[in-house]
Amino acid sequence: MITCEEFFLEFGDYLENRTSPEVRKELELHVSQCRVCQVLYDSTCKTVKIVTESGSFDLPKSVSDSIIDRVTARLRAGPT
Amino acid sequence: MSFLSEVHLDDKFGPFVAFQEALGFVPNLLRAQTLLPRVIEAQAELESAGRLQEGAISRIQKERILLIVAADRQDTYCVAAGNRVLSSLGVSDRQIDDLLNKSRCENVSAADLACLQFCLKLSRHAPSIHSEDIQALRAYGFEDKSILETVFVTALAAYRGTLSVGLGPEPDFGPRKITSRRVDPPLGVACHALLPDPHSAAQKRPYLRAPYLSSKTFSIVQKSHGFIPNFFRSQTLRPDLLEAELEAVDRILLPEDVLTRTQKECILLAVSAGNLNSYCVAMHCNLLRGLGMSAEEGDQVAVDYHLSSLSEADRALLDFAVKLGVRFSEFSGEDIVKLRTLGFTEEQILECEVVVALNNFANTLQMGLGIEPDFEPPLGQNKVHLSAVPSPPMERGLVAPSLTGVQDPDAGLVAQAQAGKLEAFEELVRRHSQLIYRALVAILGDPVEAQDAMQDALLSAFKHLAGFQSRSKFSTWLVSIARNTAFQRLRGRKEVESLDGGEYEEDREFRPRQVKAWQDNPEQFYSKSEIRQLVERGILGLPTKYRAVVMLRDIEQLSTDEVSRQLGLTVPTVKVRLLRGRLMLREWLSPHFTTSVRRATS
């Protein structure tokens, strides 16, 4: 079985589902037998889900419209 | 003497000893490279691993492949040498004649003829290789290891053939007559016999299985490329061949004492484009980005380097490389004289030729193994059209094609905005306002200041709109404007934290500390606004280089390739920073979500 260090080296691609089937199989085997890497994998997946679905840094439409309106008004007015 | 100067190397020089023992002579092809002993060592590694010993296919099978490919390329040097080697292995003159004669081939099995036909197809027009060709070999009893070795030897034939043309070595032996200009497809085997049932041959890539091999095996390429390309991962069935290739990369591509790494990557990019190898084009575009070349400039080198901003000398170097690597039948000693006239040294010309040889080796391997891309092709799928064979500009008329025609959903509005229609510009910035805002937050780390900076960024975009030439997507260009605006502000407060740099090693040292398990649905214990605040605080606490990548990938949900373009980083750098950023966020969120934390939804 691969070591935790080897698992960690492949971890980024594993999260992004970019590994080959053969490598993925090895990583899954490791996760199934290593408690620490299991926690790492599970909690990182949850982190990505939470961040992705958080709606963070949404610029409210009213604010966005206000900025764009100011800019276009300035452009319509021409060079000052 | 060959085209280039030579120096004396003792016969005890390791590679010479190896060839003397294996073949009974030291090929002049190696002696013609004595100006750079490290490149001889690289070739010797490749030949020792893939040619000079029995493997999954026999020595005779390998030498047959080398001979027939050399004959097909009208390479009299390699044919003469191959003829001698086959004779020394006990193959009769008549059998060799049969191989080179289209009309009969009685002493070679149907399976071996099928193999030779495959090798000729791969050598002549690698992009035409499909999974059906591999299935056909399997139908003849070839196992994956044998197929990998067959492809490797064909690639080695491309390496040797390229050097033979470029170096013009003295023949080691008297010439062997080659009767036809091109070797006809073998040779008593009907083509339909090679085609399997089309329904059983799925277009599956990569063609061969590749068992897991520890990342430590790839440390050379991890260091040089910043990641492990599929090119190497797809060859794990044969660690010995893989090791020889990694050594070749180490000895040919990494030293900068003759040509620079950027020059070598440009050679690899231009010749791969000439060979229509989109995998290698995408790879070298990315590596050039890591060396500081803009994405647009890299794309331009791939499509037509004559229109790039490379120096005149470097463009001439690429003309030389493309001629040797792609239009080799037109190559002559005069091409070397031209480079000398431009000031290139003998060592530089030799190294250029070796890089071209390595490129053709890699292009052949990639096509033969059906290796899947690591990255999107330049500017996205089907957006850069590689010309079949790049020609010098004078052969194409006065105006060569530029890198235009990027498929962009904004193109219509951009044209209207550039014609002065303010409403079109307004619509464009409304479409991309979230992206611009998040790019500004990512760099400034301050949502309030980002709103303020957004106005400056939009005014700047309008001011520079006429200069936008559709060499990238409009949204990418807008983000570059936002990025510059943000960095101007950071400079104003003297807090510049660059996004540049390829700190692969430093980044890889990061290790998570929190190892407590998380709850099953941790977000259920918090309200949406609490979660958002928690995430925002975590992201704003990240260093800029991680924040920028996490914001665009996980908040804005762009693809990794798109993030790399937006931020002007290589894909491997984006991947490393994304992982680290996510792990840092995980550390930040852990105390709130582990199983020991219990709280009711508020």
* Chain A residues lying within 8 Å of B516, measured CB to CB: 39
Write the single-letter amino acid at B298: G
Decide: residue B48, CB within 10 A, 0-12 exposed, 13-18 middle, 19+ buried.
middle
Residues forming beta bridges with residue B518, ordered by sequence position: B594
Q: Check A64 against B437: CB less than 8 A apart.
A: yes
Q: B181 and B92 share a domain?
A: yes
Separation between Cα atoms, residue B322 and residue B389, nearest integer Å: 9
Closest-approach residue (CA) in chain A for B553:
A52
Q: Check A39 against B462: CB less than 8 A apart.
A: no
Whether B332 shows a pLDDT value over 50: the answer reads yes
As a whole number of Å, the CA-based R_g of chain B is 28
Q: In this predicted model, what pLDDT tens digit does every residue of B532-546 receive, in sequence order?
A: 999 999 999 999 999
Residues forming beta bridges with residue B594, ordered by sequence position: B518
Q: B194 and B276 share a domain?
A: no
8-state DSSP, B58 = -
Q: What is the pTM of this model?
A: 0.83
Mean pLDDT computed over every residue of chain B: 86
Domain boundary at B373, B396, B419, which? B396
Q: B519 and B476 share a domain?
A: no
List the single best residue of A51, A65, A69 to mutate versus B (max B Cβ within 10 A).
Answer: A51
* Chain B residues lying within 8 Å of A47, measured CB to CB: 582, 585-586, 589
Domain boundary at B441, B466, B496, which? B496
Q: In this predicted model, what pLDDT tens digit does every residue of A4-55 receive, in sequence order?
A: 989 998 999 999 998 888 899 999 999 999 999 999 999 999 999 999 999 9
B37 part of a folded domain: yes
Q: B319 and B429 share a domain?
A: no
- HEC assignment per residue over chain A: CCCHHHHHHHHHHHHCCCCCHHHHHHHHHHHHHCHHHHHHHHHHHHHHHHHHHCCCCCCCHHHHHHHHHHHHHHHHHCCC
Domain boundary at B354, B371, B396, which? B396
B7 part of a folded domain: no
B119 part of a folded domain: yes
* Minimal Cβ distance to B578: which of A12, A59, A65: A12
DSSP B341-407: HTT--HHHHHHHHHHHHHHHHHHHHHHHHTPPPSSPPTTSTT-SPPPSS---GGGG-S----S----
* Minimal Cβ distance to A46: which of B438, B454, B522: B522
Whether B392 shows a pLDDT value over 50: the answer reads no
Q: B442 and B556 share a domain?
A: no
Q: Do B502 and B290 touch, CB atoms closer than 8 A?
A: yes
Residues sharing a CB contact under 8 Å with residue B509, sequence separation 6 or more, in sequence order: none
Q: Do B237 and B144 touch, CB atoms closer than 8 A?
A: yes
Report, as an integer, the average pLDDT of B501-515.
59
Q: B105 and B51 share a domain?
A: yes
| Interface pTM, i.e. ipTM | 0.93
Q: Check A44 against B210: CB less than 8 A apart.
A: no
Q: Check B459 against A10: CB less than 8 A apart.
A: no
Closest-approach residue (CA) in chain A for B517:
A39
B372 part of a folded domain: yes
Write the single-letter amino acid at B345: T
Q: Check B539 against A40: CB less than 8 A apart.
A: no
Query: What range defines the domain where residue A33 resides?
Result: 4-77
* Minimal Cβ distance to B455: which of A50, A59, A71: A71
* Chain B residues lying within 8 Å of A2, measured CB to CB: 212, 214
Q: B462 and B561 share a domain?
A: no
Total count of domains within chain B: 4
Q: What is the CATH number of the domain that holds B69?
A: 1.20.1290.10
pLDDT of residue B184: 54
List the single best residue of B520, B582, B595 to mutate versus A (max A Cβ within 10 A).
Answer: B582
pLDDT of residue B395: 40
Half-sphere exposure of A3 (CA within 13 A, CB side): 6
Using beta carbons and an 8 Å cutoff, which residues of A are at the interface with B? 2, 6, 8-13, 15-16, 20, 22-23, 25-26, 36, 39-40, 42-44, 46-48, 50-59, 63-65, 67-68, 70-72, 74-76
Half-sphere exposure of B242 (CA within 13 A, CB side): 24
* Minimal Cβ distance to B215: which of A6, A54, A76: A6
Query: What range defines the domain where residue B418 resides?
Result: 411-496
Closest-approach residue (CA) in chain B for A53:
B555
Separation between Cα atoms, residue A63 and residue A77, nearest integer Å: 21
Q: In this predicted model, what pLDDT tens digit does every residue of B77-121 receive, in sequence order?
A: 999 999 999 999 999 988 888 888 765 677 788 999 999 999 999
Q: B323 and B274 share a domain?
A: yes
Closest-approach residue (CA) in chain B for A24:
B212
Q: B206 and B224 share a domain?
A: no
Separation between Cα atoms, residue B33 and residue A78, nearest integer Å: 66
Whether B507 shows a pLDDT value over 70: the answer reads no
Closest-approach residue (CA) in chain A for B428:
A68
Q: Check B575 against A20: CB less than 8 A apart.
A: no
> To the nearest whole angstrom, how far is the Cα of A47 from the nearest Cα of chain B?
6
Closest-approach residue (CA) in chain A for B233:
A20
> To the nearest whole angstrom, how far is the Cα of B403 from the nearest Cα of chain A?
30
First-last CA distance in chain A = 70
Total count of domains within chain A: 1
* Chain A residues lying within 8 Å of B587, measured CB to CB: none
pLDDT of residue B200: 42
Q: Check A72 against B212: CB less than 8 A apart.
A: no
Q: B221 and B331 share a domain?
A: yes
pLDDT of residue B193: 39
Q: How confident is the model at residue B496 (pLDDT cuts 50, 70, 90)?
A: low
Q: How confident is the model at residue B180 (pLDDT cuts 50, 70, 90)?
A: low
Q: In this predicted model, what pLDDT tens digit does every residue of B572-601 receive, in sequence order?
A: 899 999 999 999 999 999 999 987 655 544
Report, as an integer, the average pLDDT of B8-19.
95
* Chain B residues lying within 8 Å of A55, measured CB to CB: 528, 532
* Minimal Cβ distance to A52: which of B212, B454, B557: B557
* Chain B residues lying within 8 Å of A76, measured CB to CB: 422
B485 part of a folded domain: yes
pLDDT of residue B472: 80
Q: What is the CATH number of the domain that holds B492?
A: 1.10.1740.10
Cα angle value B92/B97/B103 (rounded, 5°): 135
Q: Do B499 and B569 touch, CB atoms closer than 8 A?
A: yes
Q: Check B433 against A8: CB less than 8 A apart.
A: no
Q: How confident is the model at residue B523 (pLDDT cuts 50, 70, 90)?
A: confident
* Minimal Cβ distance to A47: which of B459, B560, B582: B582
As a whole number of Å, the CA-based R_g of chain A is 23
Q: B451 and B329 share a domain?
A: no
> To the nearest whole angstrom, how far is the Cα of B509 from the nearest Cα of chain A?
10
C-alpha separations of B115 from B68, B71, B119, B364, B589 in Å: 11, 16, 6, 15, 57
Report, as an integer, the average pLDDT of B417-446.
94
C-alpha separations of B73 from B178, B360, B591 in Å: 10, 14, 66
Q: How confident is the model at residue B226 (pLDDT cuts 50, 70, 90)?
A: confident
Q: B391 and B434 share a domain?
A: no
* Chain B residues lying within 8 Å of A42, measured CB to CB: 517-518
Whether B430 shows a pLDDT value over 80: the answer reads yes
